[in-house]
Structure formats: structure tokens, C-alpha cells
Chains A and B, each alone.
Chain A
Amino acid sequence: MRRVLALLALLLPTLVAAQVYSFDDPAQEARFRSLGQELRCLVCQGQSIADSNAELAQDLKREVYRMIREGRSDQEIKDFMVARYGDYVLLTPPMKSSTYLLWFGPFVLLAIGLAALLVVIKRRPAKSGISAEERERARELLGRDVQEHD
């Protein structure tokens, strides 16, 4: 029993840290959740702000919450974040000229690989059957029971 209590006590800070947001309707809450997943916490860079309890992530979540309550669109909220923290705040990089390499690079490499493979296969000398002379010689060497096939 004591152990269980001790474990619960250890969990307590995480429970306290999780802030509760209330919404007018489930749609707003769903938007809050999906936006939280799309925005990067810049302190703990591998995490989204929804997954992080870092101070900055909490601030950004509060901002997202405020803007959703104010009736701003998802795009407006993302633009707000990008204006302050740059494209890096978005976990999905935007498609633009500076990110074409990022988006299409792997497919370009794949295409180059396939092209190289095709060239190599085409260049390989065609499989040639053995001549009648060679077959005769093989028969002599191996004995009578060599079947004829190409």
C-alpha cells in the first residue's frame, strides 16, 4: 500500500503539469489537438507542443488556445507562429522553392537509381546458347545421357 502511495506521489507532478483547457464545442478541441501536433516545441525539438510540457510549449499551447477561442483559422494560427519562430516551428515543412530538394530529393535519387539499374541490365551481354560443336564436346565429356535443351 505504501509503495502504491509512493508511486502515486511520483505521478503527481505530471498530473499537475497537464493544464486543462475547456472548449465551447468538440470541433474546437479537435482543432486544438491537431494544431498542437503540428507545431514544434523549439526547446525540445523532436517533440510537438502537444507532447511537451516545457515552459515554451505551454506558452505556445496557451496562445493556440487563445486564438482558437478568438475564432482565428488554423492557417492564421500557423502564420502567427511562423512569423515569430520561422518555418521550423512547423513539423511538416512547407512546400516552397527552398524545400523542393527536401520534398523531391528522395524521389529524384530513386529515379537515378532505377535509371542506372536499367542501363546496367541493358548493357549486360545477351545470354547466348552454346553452339552445336560445344554441345557435342560436352556430350563426349559427360557421357551419352545429356538431354538436349538450349
Chain B
Amino acid sequence: MRRAIILIPLVVFVALAVLLAVGLTRNPAEVPSPLIGKPAPQFRVPTLADPERTIGNEDLKGQVTLVNVWASWCVACRDEHPVLMELAARKVAPIVGLDYKDAREDGLAWLSRFGNPYQQIAYDRDGRVGLDWGVYGVPETFVLDRHGVIRYKHIGPITRQTVQETLLPLIERLKQEN
């Protein structure tokens, strides 16, 4: 009995140490999104290539879709770009771009220089769509199921590792769903 009591502080200490150790290894820049499991916020904006045409939520429904928020001024988007090109070439799911707070000509020039992995691109000139989607650091990537519900959000550039370990399995799983 006395033994057990003496051990209590040690147990408490170890528990606290484990808790703090886990907390320290988490990335504070990744804020969990409250939008996971909810339908993608409503939007309708012109496309990047053609100001006359618009794109909205209905265009994201019907199949599992990736929405990638990017901008020509975003340095990390450059790192991510080759990975997106590879992912697009696999044709597992359409990638829709959201050009965030960018100048139209800059966005277009960026794509013609590095290549275009996007099936369609929404042009969010003033960042209103980004705000509604809770975007705070480009690049960000959302995975939507066929009903247009946000199922996953990745903050920061996606890497080959992210694609292999997270995105591809998730896309496969979502495709199995009805």
C-alpha cells in the first residue's frame, strides 16, 4: 500500500512527460480545420483562363476531387508543383486549382512556364473564396468526396510521401464509397 503511494508522483510525472513529448512533436502550423466532414463552402468565381466562364461547387461534385490552393507568388507552391504534375499524370482524381490572391497574368504565366496540373482553375482574386474555405497558408490541398464534402485537408506543400501514404489511399477509399 505504502509502496503504491510512493509510486504515484512517478506515474504522474511520466504521464505528464509523455503528454508534453507528444505535444512537442506536433506541428503547431497545422491547425485542424473545422470544415472536415462538411460540404465545401459555397463559391462561384470566374475561371483563371477565361473570365467569362465561372466555376462553382457543382463542378466539384460527382467524383472524388482534389482542390489545390496555390498562387504564383507562393514559393512553397514551386516545391509542390512537380508532385502535383506527377499526381495529375496518374489520373486518379481531377485536381482543381484555386489561384489565390494572384494577378491573372502572373498565374497564367506561371502555368505556362512550369506546366498545368489542373483540370480547371478557379480565380480567387481577392481571397474571398480562400477565406470561406479557411485558407491561411498557401499551398493547401483539400480532398472532396463525390458529394462535394471536404474529407481531408493538407496544409503546406504536398510531397511524394504525402501522396503515397495519405492521398492515394484516401482517394481509393473515397472512390469505394457511394
Q: Report B-chain residues with C-beta under 8 Å of the C-beta of A55.
A: 101
Indicate if the CB atoms of A86 and B137 lie closer than 8 Å: no
CB distance from B82 to the nearest CB of A (A): 25
- A83–B31 contact, CB under 8 A? no
Q: Which segment of B53-61, B114-122, B126-134 sits at the interface? A: B126-134
Assess the B132–A84 pair: CB atoms within 8 A: yes
When chains A and B are docked, how far (Å) is the Cα of A87 from the Cα of B34? 8
Q: Please report the C-alpha to C-alpha distance between residue A17 and residue B34 in the assembled complex, in whole angstroms.
A: 31
Contact of B34 among A45, A60, A82 (CB under 8 A): A82
Chain B residue at minimum C-beta to C-beta distance from A55: B101
Name B's interface SS.
loop
Q: How far is the CA of A60 from the CA of B132 in the complex (A)?
A: 11
Q: Is residue A42 within 8 Å, beta carbon to beta carbon, of the partner chain?
A: yes
A43-B137, A45-B28 given; A85·B127 CB < 8 A: no
**Bound form: Cα–Cα A56–B136 in Å:** 6
17 contacts between A and B (CB under 8 A): A42-B136, A43-B137, A45-B28, A56-B137, A59-B127, A59-B131, A60-B131, A63-B131, A82-B34, A83-B34, A84-B131, A84-B134, A85-B31, A85-B134, A86-B31, A86-B33, A88-B32
Contact residues of B with A, CB < 8 Å? 28-29, 31-35, 41, 101, 127, 131-134, 136-137
Not counting A85-B134, A86-B134, a sample of 9 additional A-B residue pairs whose C-beta atoms are within 8 angstroms of each other reads A42-B136, A43-B136, A45-B28, A45-B29, A59-B127, A83-B34, A84-B35, A84-B133, A85-B136
